[in-house]
Amino acid sequence: DTGVSQDPRHKITKRGQNVTFRCDPISEHNRLYWYRQTLGQGPEFLTYFQNEAQLEKSRLLSDRFSAERPKGSFSTLEIQRTEQGDSAMYLCASSIGQRSYEQYFGPGTRLTVT
Amino acid sequence: GENVEQHPSTLSVQEGDSAVIKCTYSDSASNYFPWYKQELGKRPQLIIDIRSNVGEKKDQRIAVTLNKTAKHFSLHITETQPEDSAVYFCAASMLAGGTSYGKLTFGQGTILTVHP
């Protein structure tokens, strides 16, 4: 499968625990985006990287959230001290070069905080 | 920041009919407008997009129109089929020199149901 992949696909955690998600973009895609989608809503932008540089962060990304893309390939999104309001689908997308506006999404990680 | 409003929230049509979904945006600097289709439990998939230098774009049964003055754009699906049933999202973004500034701002989504 040459598409965007995310791991895990589902995560159930207890409130207060830390969780980490991984996204592997399409090979050679230099841009990587994180979005959050709650039931019945469109995806909301969280942050994006160009190569290893984090270029923009949404105000939605509180200090409990951190994202990294250390080698410009895969990315991780960590949520510390999870809250029930963090329950959502976390989507990753990637794009490349001159067609960087075409974002291709992964299957998402569904987080449930109990 | 950009705000995108999408209507209707649900749309039910008979197979073979046309479906139209409308979106408005607030930031006049936005110049790239993609549409995504999301089937239940699956990832959003880009189905068509339009840039602000054109007013209409068509791909088989799907077309998108853009009115920059009014700041609204629409998705038109003709000859609908049951497999068109899904949630459709519009989005807006800003490009400069062909390079995206990054984020997409999505509408709230439209649940399209095509009855056989």
Residues A62-90: tens digit of each pLDDT: 899 999 999 889 999 999 999 999 999 99
In which band, very low, low, confident or very high, does the pLDDT at A97 lie, cut at 50, 70 and 90?
confident
CA distance B28 to B94: 9
Q: Are strands B10-14 and B32-38 parallel, antiparallel or unpaired?
A: unpaired
Q: Kindly determine whether residue A101 and residue B95, on different chains, have CB atoms separated by under 8 Å.
A: yes
Residue A12 pLDDT greater than 90, yes or no: yes
Terminal Cα-to-Cα distance of chain B (whole angstroms)? 41
Write down the pLDDT at residue B98. Answer: 45
Q: Kindly determine whether residue A101 and residue B42, on different chains, have CB atoms separated by under 8 Å.
A: no
> Smallest CA–CA separation between A89 and chain B, in Å?
10
CA angle A41, B40, A5 (to 5 degrees): 90
Residue B68 corresponds to which tokens in the numbers above?
Answer: 């920059």
Helix (H, G, I), strand (E, B) or coil at A112: strand
Chains A, B: CB contacts within 8 A come to 62
Identify the bridge partners of residue B5 per DSSP, sorted by sequence position: B24
Which residues in chain A have Cβ-Cβ distances shorter than 8 Å to B43? 4, 91, 105-108
Write down the pLDDT at residue A61. Answer: 83
Ranges under pLDDT 70 in chain B: 96-102
Residue A44 corresponds to which tokens in the numbers above?
Answer: 């909301």
Helix (H, G, I), strand (E, B) or coil at B80: coil
Which residues in chain A have Cβ-Cβ distances shorter than 8 Å to B91? 42
Residue A62 corresponds to which tokens in the numbers above?
Answer: 């509180």
> Smallest CA–CA separation between B93 and chain A, in Å?
8
| Pick among A38, A45, A49 to test the B interface (most B CBs inside 10 A) | A45
Q: Kindly determine whether residue A56 and residue B102, on different chains, have CB atoms separated by under 8 Å.
A: yes
> Percentage of chain A with pLDDT > 90?
72
| Pick among A49, A58, A103, A109 to test the B interface (most B CBs inside 10 A) | A103
Which residues in chain B have Cβ-Cβ distances shorter than 8 Å to A45? 102-105
Terminal Cα-to-Cα distance of chain A (whole angstroms)? 32
